[in-house]
Amino acid sequence: MPTATGVTESQLHFNNWPNDRGFDANYEERSPVELAVTGCIPSYAAGVLYRTGPGKYKVDGENGDTFQVSHWFDGFSETHRFRLVGSDATQPSMRVFYNSRFSTDYLMEEARKTGRLEKISFGQKRDPCKTVFQKAQSEFSPDPSSANMRGLDKPVGENQLAVFQKAQGELNPDPSSANIGVTLSVNMPGLDKAMDARWTGSSGIKTLYAKTDSTAYKKLDPETLEPIGLASQKDLHPDLDGPMSASHARSDPITGDVYNFNLAFGKSSTYRVFHVSASTGETTILATFEGTPAYLHSLFLSGDYVILCVWNAHLNPTVLKNGSFLQAIRPFDASEPTKWYVVDRTRGQGLVATYESPPFFCFHTINAWQEDAVNGSGVDIVTEFVRYDNADTLHMLYYENLISSSTEAKAHARDKKDTFRPEFARFRLSNIPTGPSTEIKVATAEWMICKDLAPELPTMNPKLVTQKHRYTYAITARDESTFFDGIVKFDSQTKTTLLWNHHAQSPGEPIFVPRPDGSEEDDGVLLSVVLDGYSSKSYLLCLDAKTLKELGRAQVNGPIGFGFHGQHIPANGVPTGDY
């Protein structure tokens, strides 16, 4: 059908694969509504599925103009809740209820009234003469040269964190003033001192926190999703006073203990790898060491070690004064190796080893485990992750390069550079020392595969975190659309793949829900929120994790924004934790 300009829908959108509404889904259901279910979602998937990420990027202003966020990572955060209710004597099939809420009302109102947002962002394009960090510094301290208010390129301790928080809106008493919504933690230990029994099937959902790559946490009501508070890593431990961390903390699958790092900038920037006990809520710093500051979205956890891989998204902290993380990421330097830091988490040995490998970039780690050393004695650590040749992809995640009706996005999809394509990778860290060592060892690549599928947002059976696993699930970007266009199952043993894809159906991260009595690794289902580009509405898709065949779906009454990550909490059983 022709549009008002005479262009047909198939001509308007790249490859007749519409996805615009997935980027600007101005849709909320603040009260739970029941969704129409077709097919059969297995009863063991009963529980709660949370999703979070950008909901929209446009706000209509008071003056008649429209404010637009530039970068996908800066979209206004929205959280979604699917409550899956198992069958019983009165209801023979699964029922699904859905509610959602933007967690950035204050920010959206500020944009509506002023037509701008003067906050630190990931990649917002702005007037270079008006730097948010300069404004934040002048407001916070009348004397920027004083000992209590030095620049981000110098060690500043608590003041460094406070300035950073102020520039992000995290010191505003209204929690919706901070755009925090990349990953979610259920029953996060350490932040709510009265909470106990986090890691039992009977504990239920007591708290819900949203996280991002700063050290801030946003507390949400687990049912209404209303933002109700802000916290930071400094609330966990006074020495965690740097401004950056990983959105993806890691949970021990047995104890529920949480592991992450804190990065403080300075002439010699400092990493602190820490552990939060699920049983006591106490935080312990496992290792403190100097390293090149970098944008690190995730880390690895094996049975005995935390592995912090400082890949090549190195930061110039002074450029953060311009208000953009992306501007602060230094150009990729192929002569600088990637550093791997191995921290003991069971015997109190601290930093035990440092490895180097050829440079690369990464968003998402998948898993790590220990094996008997291939050569010599001791153990090796095997890691799997999604690898990029360099960090070019960060600059391509502007909305103009993703939206199916955009001229720039169409051109990018037709001629995508190889460096924008990620791949599955396995690296080995051989012969882990039994105690601290200053020797720089070599991390070796065992394989890199599936670049033609460009996999991202990887998941796996959470029961096998820190153990050797075989199957990884991810979404694909095979250039059939300007964004994600399928779901892949990768078998690392046979190096084969299965694919789910249907035209104009754009999926999100596939969350693995294991069958409780399953005997095989892929016994379970995948839950993914999918946008139907033709109807501009989303649905919750349930796939058999063995075959990627559809089992059922729950139809949503509007579009759900292309988000980042989620968690499934079973009605009976242990939460999957942070990974």
What is the DSSP secondary-structure string of 397-448? -BGGGT-TT-HHHHHHHHT--GGG--EEEEEEE-S--SS----EEEEEEEEE
What number is the average pLDDT over the span 349-370? 98
pLDDT in tens, 90-141: 777 899 999 999 999 999 999 999 988 877 788 887 654 444 333 333 232 2
Q: Is residue 143 part of a domain?
A: no
Q: Is residue 159 part of a domain?
A: no
Q: Is residue 154 part of a domain?
A: no
Domain that holds residue 376: 10-126+171-228+235-568
pLDDT at 571 over 70: yes
Q: Give the pLDDT confidence score for residue 142 in this predicted structure.
A: 28
SS3 396: helix
Q: How far is residue 215's CA from residue 217's CA, in Å, rounded to a whole number?
A: 7
Q: How far is residue 361's CA from residue 142's CA, in Å, rounded to a whole number?
A: 39
> Are 558 and 539 in contact, with CB atoms under 8 Å apart?
no
Both tokens of 219, joined, read 């507390």
Side chain identity, residue 543: L
More confident site: 306 or 9 = 306
Q: How far is residue 388's CA from residue 338's CA, in Å, rounded to a whole number?
A: 12
**pTM, entire model:** 0.91
pLDDT in tens, 47-89: 999 999 999 999 999 999 999 999 999 999 999 999 999 877 7
Query: Crossing angle, helix 158-168 and helix 132-140, to 10 degrees?
Result: 120
Between CA 331 and CA 148, with CA 216 as vertex, the angle to 5 degrees is: 80
Distance of CA 183 to the CA centre of its chain: 5
Q: Is residue 164 part of a domain?
A: no
Q: Is residue 147 part of a domain?
A: no
Strand partners, 259: 250, 275
Q: Give the pLDDT confidence score for residue 321 in this predicted structure.
A: 65
Calculate the dihedral angle through the C-alpha atoms of 182, 183, 189, 195, rounding to the nearest 10 degrees. Answer: 90
Burial class (CB in 10 A: 0-12, 13-18, 19+), 439: exposed
- Count of beta carbons in the 10 Å neighbourhood of residue 451: 16
pLDDT at 155 over 70: no
Q: Is residue 149 part of a domain?
A: no
Q: How far is residue 9's CA from residue 431's CA, in Å, rounded to a whole number?
A: 58
What separation, in Å, do the N-terminal and C-terminal C-alpha atoms of the chain show? 45
Side chain identity, residue 531: L
What number is the average pLDDT over the span 503-509? 98
565 is in an annotated binding site: yes
Phi-psi group of 47: left, alpha or beta (phi > 0 → left; psi -120 to 50 → alpha; rest → beta)? left
Q: How far is residue 152's CA from residue 265's CA, in Å, rounded to a whole number?
A: 6
Both tokens of 468, joined, read 């050797």
297 is in an annotated binding site: yes
Q: How far is residue 243's CA from residue 220's CA, in Å, rounded to a whole number?
A: 21
Both tokens of 329, joined, read 């990421």
Q: Is residue 150 part of a domain?
A: no
Q: Is residue 576 part of a domain?
A: no
DSSP letter assigned to residue 2: B
Q: Domain total for the chain? A: 1
DSSP letter assigned to residue 467: S
364 is in an annotated binding site: yes
